[in-house]
Amino acid sequence: MENAASRLAAIRNNIARVCKPARREPDDVTLIAVSKTHDAPAIQPLIDAGQRVFGENRVQEAQGKWPALREAHPDIELHLIGQLQSNKAEEAVALFDVIHSLDRPSLLTALAKAMDKAGKRVPCFVQVNIGDEAQKGGCPISELPAFLAAARAADVPLAGLMCIPPADTEAAPFFALLAKLAADHGLEGLSMGMSGDYETAVMLGATHVRVGTALFGARG
Ligand SMILES: *Cc1c(COP(=O)(O)O)cnc(C)c1O
């Protein structure tokens, strides 16, 4: 119990420390505790330590553990950070408060329809394929202007841009590029930075960092 709380405090400290030279306020950075693969007993100590924003990457896994946890703590905010299949759009809209993986026209259509049906607008980050990697999800940079226009036309609220930089290389240039793209398109939110690089991301303007391993330890 002490462990989760002290790791949380250390990460909050690190965020505050890098905010200073970046002339940012720690309150402007949302720490998303990525709880994928971890069960309720592992999550509870973080809730007890005051953490209220959590991220999951699978709809079905989140459906299994979060309804009960949220009943006890209605102020919890749940973010979907993983790839979303269009046929899960209705379930995602029902369960999540924010979606970070809007990345293609078919999913946009499915989410807009699901939001209309549910009478609930869920803010979405548009995931950008920032390293132009064939195997990775995310909207190609060249298609971003048209895709953002389509999302606005479909009345899907845009929270900002999200990226997962290429592995095994310096992340900073990709974070800087995402920040520039967001500014070019008048978007404020920047979902970038994970356990290994959240401090760099905060220095480059991240408004949402997604941290799993550094909070929970390695995933089994
Ligand atoms: C798992 C995951 C994270 C958290 O990664 P860690 O390295 O464990 O902090 C962040 N973002 C996405 C999209 C993920 O799937």
Contact predicate 112/148, CB 8 Å: no
Q: Which amino acid is at 33?
A: A
Strands 158-163 and 30-34: unpaired
The rounded distance, in Å, linking the Cα atoms of 157 and 116 is 12
Cβ–Cβ under 8 Å, residues 57 and 84: no
The pLDDT tens digits of the residues spanning 19-67 come to 999 999 999 999 999 999 999 999 999 999 999 999 999 999 999 999 9
> Cα–Cα distance between 142 and 134 in angstroms, integer?
14
Taking only the tens place, the pLDDT of each residue in 57-103 is 999 999 999 999 999 999 999 999 999 999 999 999 999 999 999 99
Query: What is the distance in A from the centroid of ligand 1 to the CA of 32?
Result: 10
CA-closest residue to ligand 1 atom 7: 195
Model pTM? Answer: 0.97
CB of 108 within 6 A of ligand 1: the answer is no
Each residue of 9-20: pLDDT tens digit?
999 999 999 999
**201 CB within 6 A, ligand 1:** no
190 φ, ψ (degrees, to nearest 5): -135, 105
Q: Is the CB of 211 under 6 A from ligand 1?
A: yes
Residues contacting 59, CB < 8 A, separation 6+? 80, 84, 88, 91, 92, 95
Q: What is the pLDDT of residues 153-199, one digit of tens each?
A: 999 999 999 999 999 999 999 999 999 999 999 999 999 999 999 99
Ligand 1: does its nearest atom lie under 6 Å from the Cβ of 82? yes
Which single residue is written with the structure tokens 């209605």?
A: 74
**3-state class (DSSP) for residue 167:** coil
CA angle, 175 then 181 then 187, to 5°: 105
CA–centroid distance, 95 to ligand 1, in Å, is 19
Q: How far is the CA of 11 from the centre of ligand 1 (A)?
A: 15
